[in-house]
Amino acid sequence: MSSVAVVVVTNRPVLLERYALPGLVDIARAGMDAVVVDQSGGGAEAMVRAGDVRIVRCPPPLARGRNAGIAATDAEVVAFADDDAEFDSAWASRIGEAFDGDPTVGAIAGRGVNQQGRLWPGARAGVYRRPTSPFGLCNGFNLAFRRAALEAAGQFDEELGAGSAYRAAEDTDMVYRVMRADWAVLCSDDVTVVHHEWRSIREELQVHYGYGLGVGAQTAGHLAQGDVGARSVAWAEALKHLRTFAAASLTLRLRVAALQPPFLVGMATGFLLRRRALTSSHRSRRERAMRR
């Protein structure tokens, strides 16, 4: 089986200790690499007392922590879980076996259930390739990559993800780039974690605004690189959220309906802000070059 490392990036030591740490200990005892990337300023270090779970310190944002986790191990497969997710060594082993089963797969998107057993949204099980949209295809709390695919796609974009100006989308951005590098993505029901729900509706609204912000910023970044296909992917995502809002409103699923406008506003805002930032950066580089 391919060697597997499990990486958890955290700035919430209490959640790490409660949910993810027991699984990391189990993974380390099974002979696999288990890494905690601490972005809490040292708070997680006191939690990680099991000698076989390694700890790496790294400042935010989340994307930088993911890059630090990849650099901290030489495993052939790097699996990411969140600090508020529960998993075990069998989960990690199944990820390695799934990669061995198809050499064209560069990423595996697993499923999640909440503490009551309800499925988190996700794509149907199957193999997906470009031009599939990365949005809705994966969840960052259960996502694994073949190292060769990461090397082909490049590092996580450190302007994206929790703790950055754009708050989210470092995971969908990487999945998009992995597919763009001609790797497939396997969505699997066989690699499932328990991902805990603990946010209030107000916090969920803020989180969904952040999700949209990241999606818009991701899109602006790809367009700036000349990837015109990113525009149609983004439009399809916006239309999906508009349809969800309409359907949820008609069926009185008010909580679902309420999450859609913040996402769409965030998406437009993220796109405009990053496009402006990239344009300004390009202009500054051009002016410096002209002065030389």
pLDDT at 50: 64
3-state class of 193 per DSSP? strand
Spatial contact of 138 and 171, defined as CB atoms under 8 Å apart: yes
DSSP bridge partners of 53: 34
In what helix (H) or strand (E) does residue 12 lie, and over which residues does it extend? none
3-state class of 66 per DSSP? helix
pLDDT at 69: 98
CA 222 to chain centre: 17
pLDDT at 260: 98
pLDDT at 288: 73
Nearest alpha carbon to residue 59 among 15, 7, 9, 13: 9
Go through 255-288 and write b for each residue having 16 or more CB atoms within 10 A of its CB, e for each that does not.
eebbbbbbbbebbebbbebbbebbeeeeeeeeee
Contacts of 147 (CB under 8 A, 6+ apart): 70, 75, 76, 77, 78
CA 8 to chain centre: 12
The CATH number of domain 4-195, selected from 3.40.50.12160, 1.20.1290.10, 3.90.550.10, 3.20.20.220: 3.90.550.10
Q: What is the pTM of this model?
A: 0.95
Domain parsing of the chain, residue ranges: 4-195, 201-291
Mean pLDDT of successive 10-residue stretches along the chain, which has 292 residues: 95 95 96 96 82 92 98 98 97 98 98 94 95 96 98 98 96 98 97 92 94 98 96 98 98 96 98 96 75 70
- Tell me how many degrees the CA angle 177-182-184 measures, rounded to the nearest 5: 85
pLDDT at 47: 81
Go through 212-245 and write b for each residue having 16 or more CB atoms within 10 A of its CB, e for each that does not.
bbbbbbbbbbbbbeeeeebeebbeebbeebeebb
Q: Cβ of 119: how many Cβ atoms within 10 Å?
A: 11
